[in-house]
Amino acid sequence: MPEKDESANVSGLRERLRAARSVFVLTGAGVSAESGVPTFRGGGQTAVWKGMPFEVISSAEMVGRDLALVWEWFDYRRGVLRTCRPNPAHESLARWQTRLPQFTLATQNVDGLHAEAGSRGVLELHGNAWRARCLDCGNREDVREKDAGVRPPVCRACGGLMRPDVVLFGEMLPEDVWVEAAERAAAADVCLVVGTSAIVHPAAGLPVAAKRAGAFLVEVNPEATPLSDFCDLTLRGAAGEVLPRLDF
């Protein structure tokens, strides 16, 4: 009787969340899918732009080789993001934060939709597509103010060239953000991993570390991932439908 099992699991998880001291959530592109943000992978597909797989453009190598093309790719992406609003999954996570003594939301997404839904202190592991960073002095600026400007944009502080403030393949994650995420994951009683294919490292290691340190690990995803068999509970479904059912 899968339906009965499923509802027992959901109410059991609600109880766990209500009683938890510390909850850690890792999200990926799937949490924004119902907002209209395309995922990178999933359904057997890989995102392609201008005939190039996204791994080729979203790479450290491409910043060195063709920064203008990297900007074109992110200008295109922000054009899509401009039409997207938070969905019920983002909204549930923002509500949970107000109900728990310790709640950490780490996201691999660069879309800013968690903050737009009201989440505070979001750990953006892969940066934010709405920010630019100077290649010379590290100064950060809001890209919205530079949308109509030259490409690559020029830094207000030093005149250097700027790049999107995101973490591309082959680049290190921001150290302070990473350290905080790793500490919070290791301290969690419950860890939810939502809408990620769980193949990109080091982010994919966070739920593993959480479970090894004693957390109850839950996956929310319509598809199986390499993490599924390791989880204590897998809820197969869309984040925008599953998370509101877990509201506690």
Tokens 């924004």 — which residue?
32
Min. distance of Cβ 152 from Zn ion in angstroms?
12
Q: Does 35 bind ligand BJW (CB under 6 A)?
A: no
State which of residues 17, 134, 161, 204 lies at the interface with Zn ion (CB under 5 A). Answer: 134
User: Does 201 participate in catalysis according to the annotation?
Assistant: no
Among 34, 144, 30, residue whose Cα is nearest residue 85: 34
| Element housing 104 (H / E) | strand 102-107
Q: Does 42 bind ligand BJW (CB under 6 A)?
A: yes
Q: Does 230 bind ligand BJW (CB under 6 A)?
A: no
Residue closer to ligand BJW, measured from CB, 22 or 196:
196
Phi, psi of 162 (to 5 degrees): -110, 160
According to DSSP, the β-strands at 140-142 and 162-166 are unpaired
The residue count for binding ligand BJW (CB under 6 A) is 33
Question: How far is 142 from 76, CA to CA, in rounded Å?
Answer: 16
Question: How far is 233 from 215, CA to CA, in rounded Å?
Answer: 12
Min. distance of Cβ 217 from ligand BJW in angstroms?
16
In three-state secondary structure terms, 204 is: coil
Q: Interface residues for ligand BJW in 159-218 (CB under 6 A)?
A: 166-172, 195-197, 199-202
CB 130 within 8 A of CB 119: no
State which of residues 110, 190, 209, 217 lies at the interface with ligand BJW (CB under 6 A). Answer: 110
Residue 174 contact among ligand BJW, Zn ion, none, beta carbon within 5 to 8 Å by kind: none
CA distances to 92, 149, 168, 189, 202 from 7, rounded to whole Å, are: 18, 52, 39, 21, 33
Q: Does 62 bind ligand BJW (CB under 6 A)?
A: no
Residue 239 contact among Zn ion, ligand BJW, none, beta carbon within 5 to 8 Å by kind: ligand BJW
Min. distance of Cβ 130 from ligand BJW in angstroms?
12
CB 12 within 8 A of CB 20: no
Give the active site residues: 126
Interface with ligand BJW (CB under 6 A): 28-30, 33-34, 39-42, 58, 108, 110, 126, 166-172, 195-197, 199-202, 221-223, 225, 238-239
